[in-house]
Amino acid sequence: MAELDTDRFPAANTPSPPRVVERDTGTVMVVTDLHGDLALYRRYRDVFLALQDRGLTETLVFTGDLIHSQGLGIADGSLEIILDLIELEAELGDALVVLLGNHEMPHIYHVPISKGKTVYTPDFEAAMGEHREAILDFLRRRPFFVRTAAGVTLCHAGAFPEAGDPEAMNELTTFSHVTALNEIKAAMGTSDRTLMYHAVAASTTLSYRELSQLFCAADDPEDPRYDDYLIGVLAGIRHDFRSLWSALFSRNEHEAGMRTYTRQVRELLAYLSTEAMPQRVVVTGHIGCRNGYRAIAGGLHLRVASGAHAHPYASGRYLLFDAAAPITEARDLVTGLGSVFEDGA
């Protein structure tokens, strides 16, 4: 059996990138949840580049969930999207912000993600191939929030129960994947791996080998990815991991009810506010909506659907707003919604 491949983990002294980034000037273009739709990704990217060339926008923000096709008869271009973003980041620098979504995060920790009978993670795990380490490095560096002088906070999913817990929020906004992975590595290095495999599989009807193949596309014990399912299990029991999971997988009002969710939004905005940048509205994707957008939580939350989550699909929208012009409620942003479907494509 192969030893744990420590080269696959980031160095312990690698600095954690900021989880909250700020924008206080310039026009921001926001695109949400594209889920492997390569043609649509290219259209949004090219619209931004054209606007940038004309001096009409400065920052492009993708709010996460760029991978894992949702069907719709569209081929899965997840790998191509991420590889293009890696190149685009090298070209644009700070002008490109890609937030971490709940479909990207599982690949950092090798946690399975599924919906119904569809298990999303194995296909992308297998597709990464020789690009795997570059992609995982890219994913580990993703911020969680964008805070703007306009008072608009951008994130993937929205508010969540821990938003009102300052200690949990402090952990989240300083979260280090490097620390978490290295602590898991240290724990595995001093334990009997075979016993750990049996313990993990004991609560299922499958062997560890079958679990590894099903969720991580690795069924050979000599494959350096063979321990990935075990890594995911160990990550899942970390207390700080729970806040990260909650922040990215929140179902908003669908799990909390609108009254409780509105309070959570207020708590999130209050935590992310600074004296210079009070936050008043949160903008996300993550959950589907008709006609490409919906204002909820008393006007505190604007949900935008740019691709797979827009119903109908051709109602997908992007958002443009001035990062320096104060916004007081979600409806102030509606005039900035645009479409790449207007030519009928």
Compute the CA torsion angle 262, 263, 267, 273 (nearest 10 deg). Answer: 50
Cβ distance 114 to 120 under 8 Å?
A: yes
First to last CA, the chain: 52
Neighbours of 253 (CB within 10 A): 20
Q: How far is CA 198 from CA 2, 3, 113, 201, 229, in A?
A: 17, 17, 22, 5, 12
| Region 86-91 average pLDDT | 98
Spatial distance between the Cα atoms of 103 and 36, rounded to a whole number of angstroms: 11
Spatial distance between the Cα atoms of 24 and 336, rounded to a whole number of angstroms: 17
Cβ distance 176 to 142 under 8 Å?
A: no
Instruction: Name the band, by pLDDT with cuts 50, 70 and 90, for residue 5.
Output: low
Q: Where are the domains of the chain?
A: 21-104+142-160+250-338
Helix axes 193-201, 228-236, angle to 10 degrees: 70
Q: What percent of the chain has pLDDT over 70?
A: 94
- What does R_g of the chain's alpha carbons equal in angstroms? 20
Spatial distance between the Cα atoms of 62 and 92, rounded to a whole number of angstroms: 14
Both tokens assigned to 81: 């999207």
> Would the pLDDT of 13 be above 80?
no
For residues 31 and 189, which has the higher predicted lDDT (pLDDT)? 31
Q: Nearest 5°: phi and psi at 227?
A: -85, 0
Residue 214: predicted pLDDT: 82
- For the entire predicted model, the pTM comes to 0.93
Residues 6+ apart with CB under 8 A from 89: 96, 98, 138
pLDDT digits (tens, 9 = 90+) for 287-299: 999 999 999 999 9
Spatial distance between the Cα atoms of 299 and 282, rounded to a whole number of angstroms: 9
Beta bridge partners of 62: 31, 98
Which CATH fold would you assign to the domain 21-104+142-160+250-338? Purple Acid Phosphatase; chain A, domain 2 (3.60.21)
Q: Give the closest residue to 102 by CA, choosing from 66, 126, 135, 71.
A: 66
One-letter amino acid of 86: I
Beta bridge partners of 293: 304
Residue 192: predicted pLDDT: 87
| Region 90-111 average pLDDT | 95
Mean pLDDT across the chain: 92
> Would the pLDDT of 337 be above 60?
yes
Both tokens assigned to 222: 């000599």
| Region 193-213 average pLDDT | 91
Both tokens assigned to 252: 């908003």
Q: What is the DSSP string of 56-87?
A: S--EEEE-S---S---TT----HHHHHHHHHH
pLDDT digits (tens, 9 = 90+) for 105-127: 999 998 888 888 888 988 998 89
Spatial distance between the Cα atoms of 34 and 318, rounded to a whole number of angstroms: 11
Residues 6+ apart with CB under 8 A from 84: 41, 42, 45
Question: Looking at 3-12, 98-107, 139-148, which range is the least confident one?
Answer: 3-12
Q: Which contacts qualify for 180-185: CB closer than 8 Å, 24 or more apart? A: 180/109, 180/235, 180/238, 180/240, 180/241, 181/9, 181/10, 181/108, 181/109, 181/231, 182/9, 182/10, 182/12, 183/238, 184/231, 184/234, 184/235, 185/4, 185/6, 185/9
Beta bridge partners of 298: none
